[in-house]
Amino acid sequence: MTILADEQATLKVGRELGALLRPGDKIALTGTLGAGKTTLARGILEGQDYDEEVPSPTFAIIQQYEPPETRIPIAHVDLYRIEDPEEIPELGLEDILTDGAMIVEWPDRMPDSFWNDALRIDLEITGEGNRRLTWSAGRAWEDRWPLT
């Protein structure tokens, strides 16, 4: 458990995490609207050396980032608007994992087993500007998370 005292703290954790990303990585971000999932994803992309605006993928559903703008390909995904789980396979999400990583908001739209090896981060609003970060990490994250 980590307390994120302000938006900068969330961005900092994101940057450190982004620097550690490897192809095949899955990051699942849960928490209510406004909890800071997209903010954390922005930090992750900054940690991948991305230096432009990171829009919320709420409407596009998937935002793709590719080298040389990022170090490895990254798919930033928001499944909030997916109502029918049958729409998910056609997004082709898994394709990114061959040489890139995915960051997914509202991951509960997918089968839980998909996230077995993922880094699952939950953000909870604990006050004005305050967030509580909790996590569970699959084997793939053994040497990388929690951050030291």
The site for ligand ADP (CB under 6 A) is made up of 4, 6-7, 9-10, 31, 33-39, 56, 105, 129, 131
Closest residue to bound ligand ADP by CB = 36
Report the distance separating Cα 30 and Cα 132, nearest Å.
Answer: 12
Q: Which does 131 bind (CB under 5 to 8 A by kind): ligand ADP, Mg ion, none?
A: ligand ADP
Q: Are 21 and 98 in contact (CB under 8 A)?
A: no
Report the distance separating Cα 41 and Cα 17, nearest Å.
Answer: 10
The minimum distance between CB 91 and ligand ADP, in angstroms, equals 19
Is the CB of 54 or the CB of 140 nearer to ligand ADP? 54
Is the CB of 67 or the CB of 129 nearer to ligand ADP? 129
> How many residues interact with Mg ion (rule CB under 5 A)?
4
Examine residue 38 and tell whether it contacts Mg ion (CB under 5 A): yes
Is the CB of 35 or the CB of 79 nearer to ligand ADP? 35
Q: Residue 50: how many CB atoms within 10 A of its CB?
A: 17
What is each CA distance from 138 to 56, 115, 119, 122, in whole angstroms?
26, 8, 6, 14
Terminal C-alpha separation, the chain: 13
Contact set with Mg ion (CB under 5 A): 37-38, 56, 105
